[in-house]
Amino acid sequence: MQRNRLALLVPILALALARPALADTFELVSTDGPIRLHIESNGEVHGFYPKRQGEMFGHVGADGDIHGIWVQPRSDHPCHEMRRDTNAWGAFFISNPYHHNVAGYWGYCGEEPRRDWQIERR
């Protein structure tokens, strides 16, 4: 009986240890300076990048990647539509946020986040 319990417990523990904890705060370094991201236990993401006084809002998807929008007071490409009280916003995507080989993409306004974002995890 003890052996059967252990046989059931090992795969469950392995799965739990393989998945990163969602509640986390970490920093990324980008061409726009440092980015501080906080991920809540429910998967909601809030970030800040001080160089442009910008904020990021999003969520962690089922695949572990982060999807959301960025907003800042000003942009060289102002949007026609306002988001979070500004017309300087766009979408972003961060792949592998829990790994050192993180990748990021962004876009202006409603465009798909396809612009390469040079970021790395600190």
pLDDT digits (tens, 9 = 90+) for 70-116: 999 999 999 999 999 999 999 999 998 888 889 999 999 999 999 99
Quote the pTM value.
0.78
Q: Given a cut of 50, is residue 13 above it in pLDDT?
A: no
The pair of structure tokens assigned to 113 is: 């986040």
38 touches 25 (CB < 8 A): yes
Ranking 39-43, 63-67, 96-100, 115-119 by mean pLDDT, the lowest is 96-100
50 touches 34 (CB < 8 A): yes
